[in-house]
Amino acid sequence: PITSSATSSATPTAITLTSPSSTSPSAISTSTTTSSSSTTSWSTSTSTSTSTTTSPTISACNSFLNQATYPVAFNPYSLAVVDVNSDNKPDIIVANSGSNTVGVLLNAGTGTFNAQTSYPVGSQPYSLAVVDVNSDSKPDIIVANTGSNNVGVLLNTGSGTFNTQTTYSVGSSPYSVAVVDVNSDSKPDIIVANTGSNNVGVLLNTGNGTFSAQTNYSVGTFPISVAVVDVNSDNKPDIIIANTFSFTVGVLLNTGSGTFNAQTNYSVSYYPWSVTVVDVNSDNKPDIVVANYGSNTIGILLNIGNGTFNVQTTYSVGVYPWSVAVVDINSDNKPDIIVANYGSNTVGVLLNTGSGNFNAQTTYTIGTNPRSVAVVDVNSDNKPDIIVANTGSNTTGVLLNTGSGPFNAQIIYSVNTNPVSVAVVDVNSDNKPDIVVANTGSNTTGVLLNTGSGTFNAETTYQVGFDPRSVTVVDVNSDNKPDIIVANSGSNTVGILLNTGTGTFNAQTSYSVGSLPYSVAVVDVNSDNKPDIVGANTSTTVTDR
């Protein structure tokens, strides 16, 4: 999957909130969004940034406390948090792209983790999935090794260890991987987008954790984003892919036996960057929504009911639309489009008219280079608000929903340098979602407590490792207090900051992982009801032992 990217900067960062025009800003609610930028391709990661810690300042609100920072480690690429050893404690699994390994950090049970166990994999593992592929109720690791042109499967032995990777040759530069049962045999299969060889590979599960050789399906040039959704109502998941350099979206219909028809191409605009499949016209048929980065448009391809789609209808948006969300923001039961316009420093909102058409974009000025957008109710008024990471201006912006579609102007909260990832979660048990942000330029994690009126206290920062790129907030030690997990890309660690219960956090405990960990997820991977940590390390691939 593709995530937004962020450029580095060494200036102080700020968090921006949108408050009601005539009232004080309201509270922010729970949600998490990560923003990052990749070095050479459109995958989940962000550029490194140098760190200079500066004193936080509040620009649009004078009722905030100073930021506290938490150190994190350097450059983890992608990760998942899943219980992999059936002890009901979530463990961390991280793809270390720089060291060509997958790391597993078992949860010790008190919110701390054992040192990483590394499993050699291929070169540059970029995309990772943790799914039980051999029906033994133990989650296994599936990794796309971009640099070695294979997919690796590491079977779970049941004690939190994994066999050596078994590799399956795929096309050139596999970049995105999905694990879905495509032939209705109750065994999850592997679907991979091979950006270098311009094809999609399907590897059918034979039933014991092994996979048949890849069947290739030619698609357009540089397939970068893949979705697997039933688009023709036959209960068979189909493949939808964004072909970035051929300016098309491809649809490959599932024949029902694990094979797919040749791609049907639908022309879109320049450089389709990401694809989403959602029913936008209330006819119970999923439609295609695509962000066309090169033509500054959003494209809508309506599903006509038999797996084919109408010609794209485009809607002008800002410069370089990077990230898109499709959510009903005005309570009319019609999903609306929210887009982060990276080049024009705006967020655009296109309201759904109810027939699959959208009104012209309404834009909201935000910080510089927005790369990631989330839509979540942050002030407990049952109206989804917009949270955006402004990479170039080192801010996070919150735009509160007025209830009829328009959003108030953002309120800006200064944070430390280069905030690239933001999560919105209640960390002090007052039923008001707070803001947690990863500041890559100052090597800190910042926490801004919600005052209850849509405003936030000044950031408290916690020192973490070098170049923190991704942050998530999950209770990892079963005390009902959400803890902070951060991927420290530059120091090759994952950091855990345990919640004290009052909205403050203990100093980070770090766990060594692979090279350049860039993304982290927390999921129970071994059915022990304990969230495990899974991370993607940008420099290598996965091997099965």
Q: Residue 178 forms beta bridges with which residues?
A: 191
Contacts of 4 (CB under 8 A, 6+ apart): 34, 35, 36, 37, 322, 323, 340, 342, 371, 372, 389
Say if residue 418 is exposed, middle or buried (CB neighbours under 10 Å; 0-12, 13-18, 19+).
Answer: buried
Please give the pLDDT value at position 130.
Answer: 84
Q: Is the pTM of this model over 0.95?
A: no
User: Cα separations (Å) of 368 from 229, 308, 346?
Assistant: 34, 38, 8
Contact 433, 441 (CB under 8 A): no
Comparing 151 with 1, which gets the higher pLDDT?
A: 151
**Is pLDDT at 109 greater than 60 in this prediction?**
yes
Q: Which CATH number is 13-537 given?
A: 2.130.10.10
* Residue 387: how many other CB atoms lie within 10 Å: 30
- What is the average pLDDT across 77-81? 59
- pLDDT cut 70: percent of the chain above it: 75
Q: Is the pLDDT at 14 greater than 50, yes or no?
A: no
Q: Where are the beta strands (DSSP E) in 157-302?
A: 166-169, 174-180, 189-194, 199-203, 215-218, 223-229, 238-243, 248-252, 264-267, 272-278, 287-292, 297-301
Rounded to an integer, the average pLDDT of 440-468 is 83
The pair of structure tokens assigned to 101 is 């390994």
pLDDT on residue 1: 32
pLDDT of 298: 95
Q: CA-based angle 174:176:178, to the nearest 5? A: 120
Q: What is the pLDDT of residue 410?
A: 64
Q: Which residue has the higher pLDDT, 520 or 185?
A: 185
